[in-house]
Amino acid sequence: MLNDLVIDPEQGTIDSPMVPAQVRMVPGAADAVAKLNKAGFGVAIVTNQPAAAKGKTTRKNLEAVHQAVLDEIAKAGGTILSSHLCFHRAEDHCACRKPRTGLLEEAFRKNPAYSRGNSWMIGDGLSDIQAGQSFGIKIVFLASHKCDTCQKALDDDLRPTLWADDLRSAVDQIV
């Protein structure tokens, strides 16, 4: 996870930022991307962002939120090769929404110099583990803030390659 989640004051739920002003990077996340780059890793982002399809915000706002995240990464000296965002809801049953592998397929098509065998998927949700496992790449599961999800992953026989408390520790393990 690159940016902190926010609390929706109307619903009282936790969600991704809906406007750029809500973007707060997870401490050390932008530096972790820069560290991956310095170690020779290319970084692509694959993310489900259904808030516009759910009527919570606009796609333009979500694209601006994503750009704010990219800007923070660049300020820390990091580079994102490409971004792949799914704006659909789960009930749309699209091919791109994780846990399906469409976003990963797109990322590798756009960045053909990188092989699956040397690649990692870092994520904090079951859909990240499922997508990475289905696509045949190594997976780091960021699970410190979702302990119940850890047990669910094990119950569903989802086996990440590594477990990490946060992105910094995941990168330290990979590098």
In this predicted structure, what is the pLDDT of residue 146?
Answer: 53
Instruction: Look up the domain containing 81 and give its range.
Output: 6-174
For residue 170, pLDDT over 90 is answered with yes
State the CATH number of the domain containing residue 113.
3.40.50.1000
Distance CA 142, CA 40 (A): 22
In this predicted structure, what is the pLDDT of residue 149?
Answer: 67
Considering the domain boundaries, does residue 94 fall inside one? yes
Sign of the alpha-carbon torsion through 62, 33, 81, 75: positive
Give percent of the chain with pLDDT exceeding 90: 78
Considering the domain boundaries, does residue 53 fall inside one? yes
Considering the domain boundaries, does residue 1 fall inside one? no
Considering the domain boundaries, does residue 23 fall inside one? yes
For residue 157, pLDDT over 80 is answered with no
Considering the domain boundaries, does residue 102 fall inside one? yes
Tokens of 70: 């990219």
If pLDDT is split at 50, 70 and 90, which confidence band does 158 have?
Answer: confident
Total count of domains within the chain: 1
